[in-house]
Amino acid sequence: MDLIATTGQGKVRGRFHNGIATFLGIPYAAPPFGAHRFRAPAPVESWEGVRDALEYGPTAPKRPYRPPLDRLIPDPSIAGDDCLNLNVWTPSVGEGRLPVMVWIHGGSLRNGSANLPLYDGGAFARDGVVLVSVNYRLGVEGFGVFPDAPVNRGLLDQIAALIWVRDNIAAFGGDPANVTVCGESAGAISVAALMTSPGAAGLFRRAILQSGPPHTVSRREGAKTVRSMAKRLRIPATAEAFAAVDRDLLLDAQAAVVDRSDPIGGGPGFHIVVDGDVVPAAPPLPEADLLLGCNREEYRLWFVPGGTVDRISRLTLRLALLKIRVPQRVARLYRATRPHAKPGEILGEMATDLLLRGPLNRLADSRPARTFVYEFCWRSPVMGLGACHALELGFVFDNLRAAEDLTGPGAPQPLADAMHRAWVAFAATGQPGWSGWNADRPVMVFDHPGAGPVLAPRHEELGAWL
């Protein structure tokens, strides 16, 4: 059965099935091309009549993940310029007061989309939460740094989507005063930036950071990738010059520069930039309720499928530790607590703590008590991935069938029940079901069998970095 909802730009037609209404591909800003390319998002034009919102809209220009990640993380692309769009799942159309979750997808700010089957919001709608997922500009279009264009354009897109939610979500049964913005990986990094951005002030009440800490770079640092692309393309490093290049050639140059980098190993990439405007240099302490955490073995998504974990020898490990200036006492501690681990596993564990678990714990330390910390520990049997990056997504969305590329068949449904229930409770009330962060450092450990709070897990290792 079809349903009609009325937005500020016009009416949209969605589909109602099994108690859930779905609206797909609703534009929240004008197509970011032509006169709008490399510019801040512009208002979407109104339309007459009823606009179909029955299929996913176009995705931002991108290339697929490189092998072998492309087999583990499907990344569908839909052609079209109208890529600033969002999707809504709701149990109720019309005026309502249901909690709202706005999902910001990950993908290193150059991959991913809101259109992944994994991000289907049906389970949230089933449980009384309106789920909105957002497509935003990626790569050089969204996060390339130019002297003649605003920076953080992808982040500005996300703010425009949140403004759309504020102005329109009541028509989909949602409460604009009870919005939780949430994301994973680069989506979580985006959420952290939104928490401090003056442009996003008042647009959400709570935030969830999954496997992504606050991270920004200077304008100078952020411009390095654009300069490398410009050198390859033999053009000036300006938005005007880049706009004149065929889109496929631009994506080819982007892939050539950044595709061998990853969040753990580093390398050229795209970042959120401190610009003193959208992202202030000295952000105030955010007051939003906060749920944050990461997975026990984040590094394994990048280190294991391609064999990196086996190519790292003791000598390579020693040289890597010297390069990133890891103190000897820290290296000895990690070796002592993992006597049978491969050198690549030791390096990966340290990188996970240095880049993810440590910063997230420090963020929790810097905030009031309305902060809740989790760790996801269930280990996937697929390709030896263990408790790797992104594995928790199918459990959070209670959508294990769509997550089987990572989890394998038969992933534990009770764990999905527990994790999904905590996210729903946090969005509704700000309380996920365990104690807020305090001097005892309680962490909710999600595993199977069993899930429960643990006080200061592996505190000695985290403390060694201080």
**Domain stops at, among 258, 280, 310:** 258
Classify residue 185: in a domain, yes or no.
yes
Could you tell me if 333 and 426 lie in one domain?
yes
pLDDT confidence of 237, banded at 50, 70, 90?
Answer: very high
Classify residue 190: in a domain, yes or no.
yes
Average pLDDT over residues 204-225: 96
Classify residue 312: in a domain, yes or no.
yes
Specify the range with the lowest mean pLDDT, choosing from 31-45, 80-94, 258-272: 258-272
Could you tell me if 363 and 432 lie in one domain?
yes
Distances (CA, A) of 351 to 119, 324, 393, 457: 28, 10, 21, 17
pLDDT of residue 284: 59
Q: Can 404 be counted among the known catalytic residues?
A: no
Domain with 426 in it: 294-464
For residues 190 and 192, what is the distance between their CA atoms, to the nearest angstrom?
5
Average pLDDT over residues 332-348: 93
pLDDT of residue 377: 98
pLDDT of residue 62: 96
Residues 6+ apart with CB under 8 A from 17: 1
pLDDT confidence of 465, banded at 50, 70, 90?
Answer: confident
Specify the range with the lowest mean pLDDT, choosing from 75-89, 113-127, 263-277, 298-312: 263-277
Residue of 109, 278, 271, 125 whose CA lies nearest to 184: 109
**Domain stops at, among 205, 237, 258:** 258
Could you tell me if 325 and 245 lie in one domain?
no
Exactly one of 105, 389, 392, 420 is catalytic; name it: 389
Distances (CA, A) of 128 to 10, 183, 223, 359, 424: 25, 19, 43, 32, 8
Is the backbone of residue 185 left (phi > 0), alpha (psi -120 to 50) or beta?
A: left
Residue of 153, 146, 339, 306 whose CA lies nearest to 229: 146
Query: Which CATH number belongs to the domain containing residue 238 in this structure?
Result: 3.40.50.1820
Could you tell me if 52 and 192 lie in one domain?
yes
Angle between the N-to-C axes of helices 343-352 and 328-337, in degrees from 0 to 180, rounded to the nearest 10: 120
Total residue length of the chain = 466
| Cis status, amide bond into 381, omega within 30 of 0 | no
**Domain stops at, among 208, 241, 258:** 258
Residue of 367, 374, 324, 330 whose CA lies nearest to 466: 330
Average pLDDT over residues 86-92: 95
Could you tell me if 220 and 322 lie in one domain?
no
Helix (H, G, I), strand (E, B) or coil at 161: helix
Could you tell me if 54 and 167 lie in one domain?
yes
Percent of the chain with pLDDT over 70: 98
Could you tell me if 451 and 303 lie in one domain?
yes
Could you tell me if 440 and 329 lie in one domain?
yes
Residue 386: Cβ within 10 Å count = 22
Average pLDDT over residues 160-185: 97
The pTM assigned to this predicted structure is 0.96
Q: Can 298 be counted among the known catalytic residues?
A: yes
Classify residue 277: in a domain, yes or no.
no
Residue 285 has pLDDT above 70, yes or no: no
Tokens of 156: 């500005």
For residues 420 and 427, what is the distance between their CA atoms, to the nearest angstrom?
11
Number of structural domains in the chain: 2
Average pLDDT over residues 328-334: 90
pLDDT of residue 283: 64
pLDDT of residue 327: 87
pLDDT confidence of 229, banded at 50, 70, 90?
Answer: very high
Specify the range with the lowest mean pLDDT, choosing from 60-74, 276-290, 306-320: 276-290
Exactly one of 298, 345, 349, 392 is catalytic; name it: 298
Q: Can 133 be counted among the known catalytic residues?
A: no
Mean pLDDT of the chain: 94
For residue range 406-453, what is the model confidence (pLDDT) as tens digits?
999 999 999 999 999 999 999 999 999 999 999 999 999 999 998 899
pLDDT of residue 263: 78
Contact between residue 302 and residue 264 where contact means Cβ atoms under 8 Å apart? yes
Could you tell me if 22 and 157 lie in one domain?
yes
Classify residue 285: in a domain, yes or no.
no
For residues 392 and 385, what is the distance between their CA atoms, to the nearest angstrom?
12
pLDDT of residue 92: 84
Helix (H, G, I), strand (E, B) or coil at 157: helix
pLDDT of residue 288: 86
Exactly one of 108, 113, 133, 185 is catalytic; name it: 185
Tokens of 106: 């990950």
Average pLDDT over residues 34-39: 96
Q: Which residue type sits at 294?
A: C
pLDDT confidence of 67, banded at 50, 70, 90?
Answer: confident
Residue 284: Cβ within 10 Å count = 10
Residue 282 has pLDDT above 70, yes or no: no
Could you tell me if 108 and 234 lie in one domain?
yes
For residues 224 and 19, what is the distance between their CA atoms, to the nearest angstrom?
49
Beta bridge partners of 376: 295, 446
Could you tell me if 210 and 158 lie in one domain?
yes
Classify residue 263: in a domain, yes or no.
no
Could you tell me if 74 and 26 lie in one domain?
yes
Helix (H, G, I), strand (E, B) or coil at 51: strand
Question: Kind of pairing, strands 94-104 and 451-455?
Answer: unpaired
Tokens of 160: 């425009």
Specify the range with the lowest mean pLDDT, choosing from 202-216, 322-336, 378-392: 322-336
Residue 286 has pLDDT above 70, yes or no: no
For residues 90 and 81, what is the distance between their CA atoms, to the nearest angstrom?
26
pLDDT of residue 266: 75
Residue 232 has pLDDT above 90, yes or no: yes
Classify residue 276: in a domain, yes or no.
no
Classify residue 25: in a domain, yes or no.
yes
Extended strands (E) in 28-171 = 50-52, 85-90, 94-104, 130-134
